[in-house]
Amino acid sequence: QVQMEESGGGKVQAGGSLRLSCAASGRTFSSSAMGWFRQAPGKEREFLATVHWSSGSTSYADSVKGRFTISRDNAKNTGYLQMNNLKPEDTAVYYCAAGPYSGTSGTYIYWGQGTQVTVSS
């Protein structure tokens, strides 16, 4: 089992920044990557970015490329999502997940509880 716990969500004005953290614990070696996703009310869960734990390779959704940066600290078993130039449409619950290096939410096995990000105009 792998436990994932997000933190760092909150309220910010448009144009502002937030950094989300995701602490992984348990059998973390069983998963090769950590991904970030979000879900807005009435919408499907959306892939944002993923990072491979060992190689550091990253992949992003086009919607956040250039504004969001994913990273990881292997020593702390923690991943991060730096979000810059936030827009009201970025308002959602943000989730981190552990699984294979993939942009498909269905392939991720372990999920956190989510953290709310609210961007006001």
Model confidence pLDDT, tens digit, residues 23-44: 998 877 678 899 999 999 999 9
Residue 11 has what DSSP assignment?
Answer: E
pLDDT at 27: 75
Distance CA 51, CA 38 (A): 16
Q: How confident is the model at residue 102 (pLDDT cuts 50, 70, 90)?
A: confident
pLDDT at residue 17, as a whole number: 98
Counting residues of the chain whose pLDDT is more than 70, the rounded percentage is: 99
DSSP label at residue 65: B
Tell me how far CA of residue 8 lies from CA of 22, 44, 54, in angstroms. 9, 22, 24
Is pLDDT above 90 for 89? yes
Percentage of the residues of the chain whose pLDDT score is greater than 90? 83
* Per-residue pLDDT, 67: 97
Are the C-beta atoms of 15 and 85 separated by less than 8 Å?
Answer: yes
- pLDDT of 26 reads 83
| CA–CA gap between residue 26 and residue 66 (Å, rounded) | 32
Instruction: Give the pair of three-digit tokens for residue 110.
Output: 């372990």
Q: How many Å apart are CA 69 and CA 79, to the nearest integer? A: 11
pLDDT on residue 61: 96
Q: What would the mean pLDDT of 53-79 be, rounded to a whole number?
A: 94
Name the average pLDDT for the chain. Answer: 94
